[in-house]
């Protein structure tokens, strides 16, 4: 009886773990190699081939420009270019300043939190840049570009605005502006429309 039980156990063990034939072992190895090569091919689709000639920052930025939007690429390139520059020696492009100004107007607290982790223009730099924008009588292209960048991230509901027209009386005053090398205070309704009459009122369009 004991001999019969031992024989049955050995038979079941042989059935549960049968030995593979040489042909099956060879096919198993081929299947493993094919699956490994297939995984490598799938990875190559998402990996940019990098050589010694394409390792320069200019070539890498040209490749990344095709996979990023314009604001993301500008923000990323700013981090790469100004990473090793001191805070007082950093210079930002006009597009980066407009992007930072739009982010600051969207959320001041969010912009301050973003400035702790990324290289962004400070609040004082943005204020100085806005104050340095030349505003002449007529439609200002600089202000239009700032408003365009400001409202680009808003929804259609938040783009609804009210246009206000306000007139204000001013004193007659003629003065010389050193930055523009021009005499201010004459009547002017736009570019190249200055008259030899001192201005007494100002008409402002607010939005």
pTM of the model: 0.46
Based on the fold, state whether residues 98 and 147 are members of the same structural domain: yes
CA distance 80 to 63: 14
User: Torsions phi, psi of 164, nearest 5?
Assistant: -110, 140
Closest CA to 99 of 135, 158, 153: 153
Based on the fold, state whether residues 108 and 170 are members of the same structural domain: no
Based on the fold, state whether residues 119 and 98 are members of the same structural domain: yes
CA distance 73 to 150: 18
What are 92-122's pLDDT values in tens digits?
888 888 888 888 888 888 888 988 888 889 8
Q: How many residues does the chain have?
A: 207
- Asked if residue 120 lies in contact with residue 114, where contact means CB atoms within 8 angstroms, the answer is yes
For the chain, percent of residues with pLDDT exceeding 70: 79
Based on the fold, state whether residues 137 and 168 are members of the same structural domain: no
Based on the fold, state whether residues 168 and 146 are members of the same structural domain: no
Q: Containing domain of residue 188, as a range? A: 162-207
Report if residue 15 sits inside a domain.
no
Domain count, the chain: 2
CA distance 85 to 61: 19
What are 116-173's pLDDT values in tens digits?
888 889 888 888 887 776 677 777 777 777 677 667 767 788 778 888 888 888 888 8
How is residue 88 annotated by DSSP? G
Other Cβ atoms less than 10 A from the Cβ of 99: the count is 22
**Collapsed DSSP state (helix, strand, coil) of residue 10:** helix
Based on the fold, state whether residues 150 and 64 are members of the same structural domain: yes
- Asked if residue 168 lies in contact with residue 202, where contact means CB atoms within 8 angstroms, the answer is yes
Based on the fold, state whether residues 122 and 149 are members of the same structural domain: yes
Based on the fold, state whether residues 189 and 109 are members of the same structural domain: no
């Amino acid at each position: 009886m004991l001999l019969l039980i031992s024989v049955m156990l050995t038979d079941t063990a042989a059935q549960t773990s049968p030995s593979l034939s040489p042909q099956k072992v060879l096919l198993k190895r081929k299947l493993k190699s094919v699956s490994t090569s297939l995984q490598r091919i799938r990875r190559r689709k998402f990996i940019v081939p990098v050589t010694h000639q394409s390792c320069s920052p200019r070539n890498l930025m040209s490749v990344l420009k095709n996979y990023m939007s314009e604001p993301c690429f500008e923000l990323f390139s700013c981090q790469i270019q100004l990473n090793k520059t001191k805070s007082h020696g950093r210079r930002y492009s006009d597009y980066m300043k407009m992007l930072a100004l739009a982010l600051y107007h969207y959320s001041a607290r969010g912009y301050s939190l973003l400035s702790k982790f990324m290289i962004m223009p400070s609040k004082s730099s943005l204020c100085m840049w806005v104050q340095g924008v030349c505003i002449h009588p007529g439609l200002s292209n600089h202000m239009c570009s700032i408003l365009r960048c400001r409202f680009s991230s808003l929804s259609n509901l938040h783009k609804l605005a009210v246009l206000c027209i306000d007139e204000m009386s001013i004193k007659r005053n003629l003065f010389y502006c050193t930055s523009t090398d021009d005499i201010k205070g004459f009547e002017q309704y736009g570019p190249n429309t200055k008259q030899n009459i001192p201005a007494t009122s100002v008409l402002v369009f607010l939005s």
